[in-house]
Structure formats: C-alpha cells, structure tokens
Structure 1
Amino acid sequence: MSQLDRNSSSYVMHIDATYKLSQVEYPLMVVGISDCMGSFHVVAFFIISQQTEHHFTEALAMLRRIYTAVTNKQLLVRYFMADADKAQRNAVDAVLGVRNELVNLMCYFHVATKIYKHTRGIPVTLAARISKDVADMHYAVSAADYERIKKRSLDDWQKLPQLSAFASYFTKG
C-alpha cells in the first residue's frame, strides 16, 4: 500500500486479469503501478471467481478501503491502464473515478496488436511508418505533443490512398 502513497500524477495504475494459473482456473486480478522510471510495483492480487464488473468492482472497493485504513487517506488515481475489457473499465470508473479525474490509457501491447492486425494488407514500408508514428504518439511528453503528433500522422496517412482506410479505423477509436 505504501507504493500508492504518492502524488497521483507520478504513476500509472495497471489492472489485468489472467487465469489458468491452477487446475481450477480462477482468474487472478493483478493491480500495480508503474512509475516514471519504468518500474512496476505490485499493489495487490485478488483471486476472483469470475471476470465480471461486479467482481472487479468488489476487488477495487476492497483495495480502496484497505488503502484508506492503512494510510488514513483517500486513494487518488489519475492515470489508469488496462486492456479493452468493459467490465474492468466500468469497475474502475465506478470505484476509482469517485473524486478522481481519471485518464484511461490504452495498453500499448493491445494497440500494437491491433495495428498489426489492421496493417497486414498494406506494403511493409507503410505498415512500418504507421508503427513508428504510433510509437511517437506513445512516447509523447505531453498531451499537447501527443495531439500534435496524432494530427500530423493522420494528415500524412490520409494523403496516401493505401493508408486512408487505416486512418479512418484509427479515428474511430
């Protein structure tokens, strides 16, 4: 819990669930934070019976209560990252969104997987260009820098007939 007792803008909270870690295959929910040095710190593990919004909500509510009991402070989260699971996202919004201005970040691995899937039919050099542009967005140093890179990339993609369909897909988000 002490890892969470810091400025909420100095870390990203990550939530993921996995299973098949034992014969009964109960999902394991992992909550942790990454800091600006790229270090990951485990905050909590939850063994849950199902990957539903209700179960994620209960686990996060317990995390919030324990944090408050240990630190005598409210849990503040600014940045949150998970996969595209709606149940996780809704639980985070319901529990951690209270008194927080959450910024939901998309997992870069999942973004890269989608990019690969949607660029398989275009020339390799153009697919590499898209990957580089998205990596530039990922490593933007500010929201303004991200928006500038995104606008430039979309403008460039829309100028090329082979990339216009991808540009349209990318903006649907």
Structure 2
Amino acid sequence: MKTFTRELAIQGLNTSRIRNGMMRRFDLDIRTLPRLSTVQRYVGNYNRRHLGINDFHDLFEDKVKAAAYIGSEEDNVGFTFRWRETMDGMRHIGFLHLLLLFIVSQRIEPVYVEVLALLHRAFFRVVGVSLKVNYVMIDAEAAMNSAFEGVFAANNSYTQLMCWYHVVAKVYQHTNKLSTTGREVAMADVFAMHFARGQTEFDLLKQAALKR
C-alpha cells in the first residue's frame, strides 16, 4: 500500500485522491481505509524527503525570478515568464495565477477573460502557434463558461469536463436523506467509477451501481 501511495504522490495527486485510490485499488471500505490525516502525514514526509516539495516560498520565488526568460536559453532549459512586472522590473509572482482567482473570490467574467487571453497570448509568443484545447474542466457557472467560449471557442473543438469536487458534492447532497450505510455505498460506487481503468470497467461498475 505504501508503494502505491508513493507512486500517486510522484504523479502529484493530492492526499484525498490518493486515499480514494487506495479504497479502489485494495478493495477497502470506510472501516479499513486509513484516516486522511495518516495519508497526509505519510505523503507530506515523502514529498519533503524525496521529491523536494516544501513550503519554502522565498526560495521558490527566487528560483522563479532567476529563471526569467531572456530568449537565449537552450532547448532543454526551463524558464519562467510573465506579462506584468513590478515597478522595479521583477516578475509579479502569483499575480493572475488561476488559483488566486478562487482564493480571493474574483469569480467574474472580465477576470476570467483577461487570464485566459493572457494564457493564449503567452502560448503563441513562446511556441509560435495558437493554443489548441481538447479538454476543459469548467465549474457550473455562467461567467467561467462564457469567458472560455469567448477566448477559445472560435478556433477549438473541445470537450467540457465537470470538476470532480462538484460531482462529489452533488452526490453527497442528493444522498443526504439515505441511511449512513446507503450513503457510504453510493459514494463508494461513485469513487469506483471515477477510478475505473477504462470505459468497459466504468460501464460494468455503473450497471452494478444502478442495480443496487
């Protein structure tokens, strides 16, 4: 089980998904599944000791600034770039980062449009071709959907995916009146389908869940 956990940690999965994957992989239930805090502690220690993942923000910021794009990099050298800079010419670390939108609750269409447009421009300037989008994960809100369509819909044919968090939230909401056992069974079925290894396995799990 530890080997499985380390493999998912290397892939960058968060601890909740790792724990859910353990349930599916080792056929566990709520009683035999390790506590989330236990998984968090193990993954955190492994990340710090072996993957170099930590909370040294200042060190990370210095590395970002030191890797600023200057145009003469070799093909195998990583670099960072931003459209906006501070008054002293330094990169605005975190400014307009997609995650920041959720932290500060700037969930309005003009903000989404600006961020997506900057992403589109940055990709074109660096790669030399327009960004082609095949899949997009959009929450169920009009502002985000309209913004993405306004920036990318003209030159892309993409498939919209639903945020996993919102799927689980809806299932939890609509199973609220079931018994504790019934809710656990329903949630276990949803997680099992989420971690299916292919369409065939997904269809079999779905049929089994609908027959319960």
Q: Could you state the TM-score of these two structures normalised by the residue count of structure 1?
A: 0.55
Aligned partner letter, 2:116: L
Within 1, Cα distance between the matches of 2:196 and 2:154? 28
Find the residue that maps to 1:84 and give its secondary structure.
coil
In structure 1, the partner of 2:202 is 146
In structure 1, the partner of 2:126 is 70
Alignment of 1:20-59 (within 5 A): 37-38=11-12, 45=97, 51-59=107-115
In structure 1, the partner of 2:182 is 126
Aligned partner letter, 1:37: Q
Higher strand share: 1
Within 1, Cα distance between the matches of 2:197 and 2:169? 23
What count of residue pairs does the alignment treat as equivalent?
A: 119
In structure 2, the partner of 1:164 is none
Find the residue that maps to 1:140 and give its secondary structure.
coil
- Runs of at least 5 residues in structure 2 that lack an aligned partner in the other structure: 1-9, 15-93
C-alpha displacement at 1:60, in angstroms?
Answer: 0.7
In structure 1, the partner of 2:170 is 114
In structure 2, the partner of 1:92 is 148
Higher helix share: 2
Q: Deviations over 1:28-79 (max 9, x none)?
A: xxxxxxxx93469x9x616779533243123212210111011112212222
Aligned partner letter, 1:45: H
Q: Work out which structure has the larger RCO, using CA pairs closer than 8 Å and 6 or more positions apart in sequence.
A: 1
Aligned partner letter, 2:153: G
Within 2, Cα distance between the matches of 1:143 and 1:86? 30
Within 2, Cα distance between the matches of 1:124 and 1:71? 52
Aligned partner letter, 1:76: K
Within 2, Cα distance between the matches of 1:94 and 1:70? 22
Find the residue that maps to 2:97 and give its secondary structure.
strand
Within 2, Cα distance between the matches of 1:150 and 1:143? 10
Q: Deviations over 1:7-33 (max 9, x none)?
A: xxxxxxxxxxxxxxxxxxxxxxxxxxx
Within 1, Cα distance between the matches of 2:206 and 2:148? 27
Aligned partner letter, 2:11: M
Q: Give me the CA root mean square deviation.
A: 3.1
In structure 1, the partner of 2:58 is none
Correspondent of 2:139 among 73, 83, 96: 83
Within 2, Cα distance between the matches of 1:108 and 1:72? 33
Q: Could you state the TM-score of these two structures normalised by the residue count of structure 2?
A: 0.46
Q: Percent identity?
A: 31
Find the residue that maps to 2:178 and give its secondary structure.
coil
In structure 2, the partner of 1:15 is none
